[in-house]
Amino acid sequence: MTTRYTNDHEYIRIDGDAGFVGITNYAQEQLGDIVFVELPEIGKKLAKGDEAAVIESVKAASEVYAPVSGEVVEVNAVLGDKPELVNAEAETGGWLIKIKPSDLSELDTLMDEAAYQAILD
């Protein structure tokens, strides 16, 4: 599985022909305790940079943007009852949406893990 990152602290982890999208561990630490997650409808088409979800924490509401263009093929329904999963497992079980990219070349515009770590340091 390949993982790529955005400057806005989103990630996409490619698995087969689709990718899991969420916020990075750094982003969830900045937000604090997450109390609500608003997810899109399955089948929604997103362009790279479109609002894909909204995360509300005790501090603020924050938009999550699509790292690539594509169609939402799955949402993490568990987050409806357990939004705190984003805090506990941001880059694993706390993913937000699964998207089927319409243009895989857009992944080349995103950072790999080493580049992402460099902007955090």
pLDDT class of 28 with cuts at 50, 70, 90: very high
For residue 1, pLDDT over 90 is answered with: no
- Whether 89 is in a domain gets the answer yes
Domain of 46, CATH number, reads 2.40.50.100
For residue 31, pLDDT over 90 is answered with: yes
Q: Which structural domain, as residue segments, surrounds residue 25?
A: 2-103
Q: What is the mean pLDDT of the chain?
A: 96
- Whether 62 is in a domain gets the answer yes
- Mean of pLDDT values over 3-12: 97
pLDDT digits (tens, 9 = 90+) for 87-107: 999 999 999 999 999 999 999
- Whether 98 is in a domain gets the answer yes
- Whether 53 is in a domain gets the answer yes
- Whether 79 is in a domain gets the answer yes
Tally of structural domains, the chain: 1
Contact between 57 and 34 (Cβ < 8 Å): yes
Over the range 85-119, which residues count as b (16 or more CB within 10 Å of their CB) and which as e? bbbeebbeebbbbbbebeeeebbeebbeeeebeee
- Whether 71 is in a domain gets the answer yes
pLDDT at 58: 94
Over the range 1-38, which residues count as b (16 or more CB within 10 Å of their CB) and which as e? eebbbbeebbbbbbeeebbbbbbbbbbbeebeebeebb
